[in-house]
Amino acid sequence: MNNQMFSQSTSQESAIQTNKVLRNTYFLLSMTLVWSAVIAGLAMAFNLPHPGFLITIVGFYGLIFMVEKNRNNSSGIMYTFLFTGFLGYTLGPILNSYLGAGMGDIIVTALGGTALAFMSASAYALTTKRDLSFLNGMMMAGFVVLLVGMVANIFLQMPILQLALSSMFILFSTGAILLTTQSIIRGGETSYISATVTLYVSIYNIFISLLSILGIMRDD
């Protein structure tokens, strides 16, 4: 009887902790998305230049490192907002280029597609009883292919390759949303800061990839 009561108590505590991580993740994610949108809007309003490939890469991985290093303390929240604000800033000049080319409707379409992809993937991960861990191997293979493709695209600059990479980024990012969400509800991910950043990056990549695909199709 004591063992049964202890098991029930442990299970309840685990469920409470899981719900807390999930709740905190979605709350922080919503805050960072708003913050990022504000920074992107300011970058657009002041017509700020894009920081360039090198600064973007250094800023991205440098801030990711600081977020993960502080994932279990309050400093992690500060670095999360610095990271998402930085990506918001890089987004501003990109959006201005689409607006300048008369493609404002593409931005709206990409936003809608991104929201639909995120909500669909999250809803599936939250409700399915299927173990999605089989995606890990596919994600690793996809990461290698994306890395090679990105390096090749720096030199080749081929629209068809960019289209393929953008499509793969959408699939890869959707997989990351599925795995991260299920990891939270199954107790595998206990840091809402890390979960938030993973989901944010996935949303960012889907949006940028949709912009690229729609832009290429419009050019054609």
Tens-place pLDDT, residues 131-155: 888 888 888 888 888 888 888 877 8
Residue 3 has pLDDT above 60, yes or no: no
Residue 1 has pLDDT above 80, yes or no: no
pLDDT band of 5, cuts 50, 70, 90: very low
Residue 6 has pLDDT above 50, yes or no: no
Average model confidence (pLDDT) across the chain: 89
Give the C-alpha separation, 130 to 123, whole Å. Answer: 13
Question: Tokens 């993960």 appear where?
Answer: 68
Q: What is the mean pLDDT of residues 120-127?
A: 93
Please measure the distance between the N-terminal and C-terminal CA atoms of the chain and give it in whole angstroms.
70
Taken in order 10, 67, 86, 120, the sign of the CA dihedral is negative
